[in-house]
Amino acid sequence: MRYIWAPFAKRPNPIWMLQSTITLHDKQFTPYLPAQQVMAAVQELAGRLNQDYAGKQPLFVAVLNGSFMFASDLLKEMLIPCEIAFIRVASYEGISSTGRVREILGLQEDVAGRDLIIVEDIVDTGHTMRALLELLGAQKPASLAVATLFLKPECLQHELDIRYVGLTIPNDFIVGYGLDYDGLGRNYPDVYKAV
């Protein structure tokens, strides 16, 4: 028996086409960044990481829930031996940061002496990232770096050394590609911003 591969792109599915406006809960969102631009940023970051970590075996620590798409696509582009682990933290309610970080699910892996790369979807106030850097740094890794897909420099309230940034954006509230508004919007491959 022979199987014939049929590309998904030929099947019409309106959710995967860039829509002019989407509604999530009580908010309207308009197109911001197409999936192709997001993927280009991911591939560029992966290229830098492949070069900088050549000869090493880093452990990527993906921050759930928002970074799941970014982490998946980033690791598909890695050409070096690497591992992935997950940590879940929360500091958002609705569309604004609470400023309080709660660790919900911690690492099971021993990270002492390892080269760690925190994979985050977005860094805005920096509260979450500062807490993660302190938490993981206390476990004595060989090195500790941050790779974020999005950075909002005008929102930062902490001095952070973020070596790997995919896209620098203004202070817009965005959804899509893993980012959500109260649980909705993560599934869109394109990125939308609140109107």
Average pLDDT (148-155) is: 97
DSSP, collapsed to helix, strand or coil, labels residue 113 as coil
- Catalytically annotated residue among 73, 115, 121, 124: 124
Task: Record the pTM.
Answer: 0.86
Q: For residue 124, indicate whether it is catalytic.
A: yes
Asked whether residue 133 is assigned to any structural domain, the reply reads yes
Asked whether residue 16 is assigned to any structural domain, the reply reads no
Asked whether residue 9 is assigned to any structural domain, the reply reads no
Asked whether residue 22 is assigned to any structural domain, the reply reads no
Looking at every residue in the chain, the average pLDDT score rounds to: 88
pLDDT digits (tens, 9 = 90+) for 1-32: 444 444 444 444 444 556 789 999 999 999 99
Asked whether residue 152 is assigned to any structural domain, the reply reads yes
Q: What is the CATH number of the domain that holds 102?
A: 3.40.50.2020
pLDDT digits (tens, 9 = 90+) for 85-111: 999 876 555 555 555 665 557 788 899
User: pLDDT grade, residue 128 (50/70/90)?
Assistant: confident
Range of the domain at 112: 30-194
Number of domains in the chain: 1
β-pair type (164-168, 27-33): unpaired
pLDDT at 13: 46
Handedness of CA 110, 113, 119, 123 (dihedral sign): positive
